[in-house]
Structure 1
Amino acid sequence: MKAALAGIAVSALALCALSSQALSQELRMTVWTGSEAHLKMLNGIAESFKTKHPDVTVKFETVPVNDYTQKLTFQVAGGNAPDIAWMMEDAAPAFENAGLLMDIGPTLKAAQGYDFADFSQPAMALWQKGETVYGVPFSTSPFMIYYNKDMFDKAGLEDPLALAAKGEWTMDKFQEVSKELKEANPGKWGFEFKDGEGYASRMTHAFLPPIRAYGGDIWSNGECGFDKPEAVKAIKQLHDMVFKDKSIVPPGEQGDYFSGNSAMTVNQISRASKMAEAGFKWGIAPLPSGPGGEAPVIGQAGLVVFDAGKNKEIAAEFIAHMTDKENVATMAQFFPPARKSVLESDAFINGNKLVPAEMMKGVADAIANGRVHPAHEKAPQILAAMAPRVDALWKADADVDAAIKSICAAIQPQL
């Protein structure tokens, strides 16, 4: 009898363990940030999800930004897709058109108090086709100029924010001060491209702001824009800054604005999290204007659920939780929102402890007036076709006109 009771007890314990396993769910979510501040915030949002789903945990998996889309593609192709992923704007069309993403619209619209209509329609354009919602933008972040105030002061120059307030922050002024900053700060640089990667993985991020300032675009409506007169002027100015003025960090060199080796860089508001460790006074200003006027560039990232995922229903619910008004307001300190109510609030303007309100107003204005970085379903192929032609451009003795024409010849078939 005792043996029988013992057997029953063991079986009951085994069933309890299986039941506990069945109820417990871990969602895997890929991100490209390793920032301690970002991950602390994300884990806090995941913990608050337990109020409704106590047995659900979320594991955030950091994949380096330079390899992110490629590694995510490999994971999906290998049957190891994450439940949820951050997705860059230039990759979204390819994943959407391949039928890999879940329609999360019904889940979002059914969530109590969610207010789907609060999302800016221009911000949703990339993530929605008709009633189908492939993703939700969690960051609609304009490109801004980060500047080292100490280096400007040493050179006796007005900083970009002051110049912008006077209407004098133009592409010509940008070139002029970059050269003066280089001369006044020996061994350092006037400017570096976004994340120091303008010659490889960030090619389009290097080209787009000046090309837009001149009134052009890198591509539009299926047509290459690099060889248009506006773009050619912008690219030649950049080339002169790299090789004649020697004010922009050149290929093969590392500037690293965040450690004080470059006076300016382009980045998004999320990078303000790194500035707490900066050993210098700094600020944020709009991109330089040009003959095309002010032309803010917006980078966007969305949250998506893979349709083949085993946990896709609860994953969609987590996205609804993560992008409700309360959590969007929490994330807005690093990731400018697409929710109109949050973007227009004093909480957004005053909510970033690192960035003064006057600078955050510039961020809000850029979101309201900017255009998103161009996307394309063949973005990986376009970038691969561009790479060797762009390499040929970034040489001191390059035939710039010929190199630009070769870029368009390479990418036009993909467009």
Structure 2
Amino acid sequence: MKRRSSLVILSVLIVLSMLLAACSQTATPVAPDAPAANDPQVAEPAAEEPAAEPVSIKVVSFLTYDENKEGAETAVVAAFQAAHPEITVDFQLLPYADYFTSLKTWIAGGTAPDIASLDLAMLQEMAASGSIVDLNPMITADSYDLSAYYQSTLDMFQNNGGQYGLPASLSNVVLYYNKNLFDAAGLPYPDDTMDWETYVENAKKLTQDTNGDGTIDVFGTARLWWPYYMLVTGATPFNADASACTLTEQNAIDGFQAMVDLTLTDKVAPSANDLAAQDDWHMFEAGRLAMYPIGPWSISEFNDVIVDFDWDATTLPYGPTGEKVTFLFGNAYSMLSSSTQQEAAFEFLKFVTGAEGDQIRQDAGFEIAPIKSVAESSFLSAMAGKKPANVKVFLESAEFALSVPTHANWSEIADAISSQLDSALLGDITVPEAMQAACDTINPILAESK
């Protein structure tokens, strides 16, 4: 019995050893044969898309701050966050005063934001200094369609062929008029055919000393910002390559003379002393200004405040040389050159300057959207029941709107011109003398920037 048990155990051990040997051979790695053409292939599971890495960007802006348009800009950022939860936005809304000084300080200190809102002068200075990014390579790589914007608003924010910002708002200047004052004077309301001569003649008839005390109580019109009188005669502050001041040329003299004459010769526009007592904005609200060149930023307050007279708007008149021109103002968002999150920053730019961002600002009544589809629908519909009744004039005026010339040192150039014009408006110097003095200051600025 014992012998039989031993044989059984031996047999089992032999079988086990054979099995172990077989397993050992199959575990040896061998290069696989090439699969036959008809062999079924086992598909590998598709790799999952990696989740977007969360990033943070810093954004500063002055848009809508002073107007406080229902927190419009904060709402734009909140909408972006909802659409892009993978991007956290550290957002600061700041007052316009000292904004640019603060921004330049942050840049110098290495704490610049990724994105900043900029007006035209700010943007051109920062583009020239290399502080902001030319967006064209990103626009091309993204196939981002710029045709949705009014082309003139894109042109404003270009520098030497580069696109240094995307427009977030636009505005221009039209002519408001007090219908009650025109009715009282027996004059037809102004329209888009009015020439400069008619404009000045109407302003004379509308200017009144109502109580006979020798002081004008109602002015026929107000002056525009001085670059208008340069643009309307085709003048420029410097030549094509910005190497020499051209303000002593006759077309510049003619334009600025027309401006000065409104106050000193025709006496239809308030002087510096008049404006110190009450600015032209409040003069119009008080019914003391018959014609007022102003932009859409006035609409909200004027609808709230003006209750004692009726008013409407038309285009600015044809200028002294027969040209019809208005200002084109605008604000943009730009990307700082120091940004380390340019992909996320560009996503933000597209959203806040695109249809989504524009719609929020337009619904809040802030200026005019640079996106054509928003401006041509929502701007007009938002104005239903408000003044001016001829609200289309803002969009019509965009057809002949021009922006002021650009230069890296535009602030210094502008200061040189405006200070001399102030002296001319006081009658201290003639317009030709003012322009010669301005050029004496501007030429060294141009030479130094070369």
In structure 2, do the counterparts of structure 1 residues 70 and 358 end up closer, same or farther at CA, with 3 Å as the change threshold? same
Any idea what SS the aligned residue of 2:260 has? helix
1:279 CA displacement: 1.8
Structure 2 equivalent of residue 17 of structure 1:
none
Note the 1:396-411 alignment, pairs <5 A. Answer: 396-411=427-442
The more displaced of 214-223 and 273-282 is 214-223
The 1:381/1:292 distance shift into structure 2, 3 A limit, reads same
Residue 45 of structure 2 corresponds to none
Residue 136 of structure 1, CA deviation: 0.4
Residues 367-402 of structure 1 deviation map (CA, whole Å, 9 limit, x = unaligned): 223222211112122124335423322213432321
CA distance change for structure 1 residues 340 and 28 in 2, over 3 Å: closer, same or farther? Answer: closer
| Aligned residue number for residue 270 of structure 1 | 297
Equivalent residue runs for 1:156-305 within 5 Å: 156-159=186-189, 163-165=190-192, 167=193, 169-183=194-208, 186-193=216-223, 206-221=225-240, 222=242, 223-252=244-273, 253=276, 254-258=278-282, 259-260=285-286, 261-280=288-307, 281-290=310-319, 291-305=321-335
Question: What percentage of aligned pairs have identical amino acids?
Answer: 22
Amino acid of the structure 2 residue aligned with 1:255:
D
The aligned amino acid for 1:140 is L
Q: Deviations over 1:101-140 (max 9, x none)?
A: 134456666779x633433444323434688532101223
Question: What is aligned with 1:373?
Answer: 404
Give the Cα separation in 2 of the matches to 1:149 and 1:37: 30
1:118-164 per-residue CA deviation (whole Å, 9 max, x = no partner) reads 334443234346885321012232222233334433444333xxx22
Number of aligned positions between the proteins: 374
Give 1:214's aligned amino acid. Answer: T
Change (3 A) 1:217 1:164: farther
Matches of 2:358 and 2:63 in 1, distance apart?
A: 18
2:94 to 15, 37, 61: 61
Answer yes or no: is 1:148 the counterpart of 2:178: yes
| Cα deviations by residue, 1:44-71 (Å, 9 ceiling, x for unpaired) | 222211212445353311223xx55455
Distance 1:412 1:39 in 2: 45
Tell me the distance in 1 between the aligned counterparts of 2:442 and 2:160. Answer: 29
8 A Cα contact 1:190 1:262, kept in partner: yes
Q: Aligned match of 1:73 in 104, 114, 118?
A: 104
User: Measured at CA, do residues 370 and 91 of structure 1 come closer, stay the same or move farther in structure 2, by a change above 3 Å?
Assistant: same
Which one has a bigger Cα radius of gyration? 2
CA contact (8 A) 1:329 1:348 kept: no
Relative distance call for 1:309 and 1:264 in structure 2 (3 A) is farther
Partner of 1:87: 118
Q: Which runs of 5+ in 1 are unaligned?
A: 1-21, 195-205
Q: Is the Cα–Cα contact under 8 Å of residues 181 and 206 in structure 2 kept in the other structure? A: yes
2:417 is the alignment partner of 1:386: yes
Structure 2 distance, partners of 1:131, 1:175, is 40
Residues 308, 244 of structure 1: CA spacing in aligned structure 2 closer, same or farther, 3 A cutoff?
A: same
- Normalising by structure 2, we get a TM-score of 0.71
Alignment correspondent of 2:155? 125
Matching residue of 2:381: 350
1:220–1:374 CA contact under 8 A, matched in 2: no
CA pair 151-37 structure 1, distance change in 2 beyond 3 A: farther
Q: Name the CA distance, whole Å, in 2 between partners of 1:130 and 1:235.
A: 29
Cα 1:93–1:31 change in 2 (3 A) is: same
Residues 1:334 and 2:355 are matched in the alignment: no
1:136 is aligned to 166
Q: Which runs of 5+ in 2 are unaligned?
A: 1-52, 211-215
Contact 2:63/2:73 (CA < 8 Å) preserved in 1? no
Whichever residue aligns with residue 439 of structure 2, its letter is C
C-alpha distance 247-256 of structure 1, shift in aligned 2 (>3 A): same
Residue identity matched to 1:287? L
User: RMSD over aligned Cα, in angstroms?
Assistant: 3.4
* 3-state SS, counterpart of residue 334 of structure 1: coil
Structure 1 residues 161-192: Cα deviation after superposition (integer angstroms, max 9, x where no partner): xx224x2x222222223333331665343333
User: Could you list the per-position Cα deviations for residues 289-338 of structure 1 after superposition, in whole angstroms to 9, with x for gaps in the alignment?
Assistant: 12232123312321112222466654432221112223324434533343
Change in 2 beyond 3 A, CA 1:353/1:74? farther
SS in 2 for 1:398: coil
Residues 350 and 32 of structure 1: CA distance in aligned 2, closer, same or farther (over 3 Å): closer
Structure 1's 150 and 330: CA in aligned 2 closer, same or farther, altered over 3 A? farther
Paired letter, 1:295: V
C-alpha distance in structure 2 between counterparts of 1:251 and 1:239, whole Å: 12
Query: Which whole-Å CA distance do the structure 1 matches of 2:161 and 2:265 have between them?
Result: 52
- Do 2:59 and 2:114's aligned partners in 1 also have CA atoms closer than 8 Å? yes
